[in-house]
Amino acid sequence: MIKKISISSLASLVLLSQAANAQTKVGNAGVVTGAISASSNYVSKGLEQNRDQPTASLTGEFASSTDIQVILGAGVFYARPDKPVTSGAGYDYELNYNIGLRKTIDKLTLDAGYIYFAYPSAQARHNLDSGSYYAKAAFQATKDTKLNISYEADDTDGALSTTGKVGQNYYEVGISHNLGPVTANVAYGDWDDLITHFRAGIAKEFMGLNFTADYIDNDKTRANLVDPHNNKFVVVGVSKSF
């Protein structure tokens, strides 16, 4: 299995989310949102990526004022593992770029586009850079309850392993509910022929900061996943929208 399958990005959750509350108008063209974040670990699609090291990130998004919005996003994620899985495959930071379209119809918001992950500090021979096409739907079922579903397709149709192609598609479904003191959320993800995972967490906004705590449990019993990551995590984080 080539390394890029093990490195698929945390940014797919951050850049494609709509958690940021602050907005800055860009004339009549649209609005810009951004967030700065820190978390205790780097877990993406159920996989721990950086050997229990903290991660800092800065993300931004432009959304046009058109009926079908044009979305332009970018982010930088600093996460330095103690030891890379393969010599020369370590990285200090990750850059992400996405472009897409967004349409809101009453309580339903639809997103579709392309996101690219780059690792400039890793040796080029490991070919870590990758991209994915994505589609996402969020439905505000009630005032306090939201349903989410997302899909990603690797733009190179996954990677070859000893048993054939793996990692072509990723699916995730989730639900969040405002309980008053905190917002609770659960999600289930499946990265075909690689891993499945379950996540349960809470979020709380306090003094302009958004605090999160998540428990993540994955199933790495599939033969194609050879890197011995942990499979149970508690990840805490804090972010500030601007």
Tell me the pLDDT tens digit for each residue of 21-50.
578 999 899 999 999 999 998 777 777 766
Residue 144 structure tokens: 């306090």
pTM above 0.85, yes or no: no
Please state the rounded mean pLDDT for residues 54-62.
92
Question: Helix, strand, or coil here: 3?
Answer: helix
Percent of the chain topping pLDDT 90: 50
Q: What is the pLDDT of residue 15?
A: 40
Number of folded domains that form the chain: 1
Angle at Cα 59 formed by Cα 31 and Cα 54, nearest 5°?
155
E-strand stretches of 45-129: 47-48, 55-64, 69-78, 93-105, 108-118
| Cβ-Cβ contacts under 8 Å for 72 (sequence gap 6 or more) | 61, 62, 98, 99
Task: Give the residue among 83, 238, 205, 224 at the shortest CA–CA distance from 163.
Answer: 224
Q: What is the pLDDT of residue 21?
A: 56
Q: Round the average pLDDT of the chain to a whole number and report it.
A: 81
Residue 136 has pLDDT above 90, yes or no: yes
Residue 238 has pLDDT above 50, yes or no: yes
Q: What is the pLDDT of residue 87?
A: 53
Please state the rounded mean pLDDT for residues 218-230.
58
- Residue pLDDT, tens place only, 161-198: 555 555 688 999 999 999 999 999 999 999 877 788 99
Please state the rounded mean pLDDT for residues 15-19.
41
Amino acid, res. 141 = A
140: left (phi over 0), alpha (psi -120 to 50) or beta: beta
Please state the rounded mean pLDDT for residues 105-125.
90
pLDDT band of 220, cuts 50, 70, 90? low
CB 75, CB 59: distance < 8 Å: yes
Task: Give the residue among 14, 9, 69 at the shortest CA–CA distance from 241.
Answer: 14
Q: Give the residue ranges of DSSP H helices in 7-67.
A: 11-14
Q: What is the pLDDT of residue 63?
A: 96
CA–CA distance, 13 with 187 (Å, rounded to integer) = 12
Tell me, what CATH number does 50's domain have? 2.40.160.40
| Cβ-Cβ contacts under 8 Å for 139 (sequence gap 6 or more) | 107, 108, 109, 146, 147, 148
Percent of the chain topping pLDDT 70: 75
Range of the domain at 205: 3-241
Q: What is the pLDDT of residue 186?
A: 97
